[in-house]
Homo-oligomer: A and B are copies of this chain.
């Protein structure tokens, strides 16, 4: 269904929130402020810490803070940290497809995957946190079909 995991969604929310936070924020506080269940917040932040996206401090008055800047963290990085490498099909994530001899697609999903990946790499958490003035609520229902070679979708100006 090409759906993002809820965890990745939550992580994005948490990171944007953290990026606006002064000093350290505890998992419990973030849970309250974002509405995400606390155990889930704790679980997510632990993962994000070991991925290097956030820094943690233990003990009393400890907590988390963003490791870098919102402008430097891409959505692709967040998704990869939470869900592992972005791979829209099993054929894309390195392992061999057992039907490869029959399917007749010979790795074309990789092209699609790369196109999506570069799209996600062009959007930062700063973009995600921007309160857009006027959002194109519904995108183009049917864009003219071009060739595969166009793998740099100019989405950057749509966001910024």
Binding site for B on A (CB under 8 A): 1-6, 8-9, 12-13, 16-17, 20, 33-36, 71-72, 74-75, 79, 83-84, 86-91, 94, 96-97, 99-124, 127-132, 135-140, 142-148, 150-153, 155-160
Nearest Cβ in chain B — how far from A93, in angstroms?
Answer: 9
Asked whether, in the complex, the Cβ of B145 is within 8 Å of the Cβ of A71, the reply is yes
Report copies per complex: 2
Which residue in chain B gives the minimum CB-CB distance to A160?
Answer: B107
Q: How far is the CA of A137 from the CA of B108 in the complex (A)?
A: 10
A158/B88 in contact, CB under 8 A = no
* B159 and A107 contacting across the interface, CB-CB below 8 Å: yes
Q: Give the shortest distance, in Å, between A142 (CB) and chain B (any CB).
A: 6
A153 B101 Cβ-Cβ under 8 A: yes
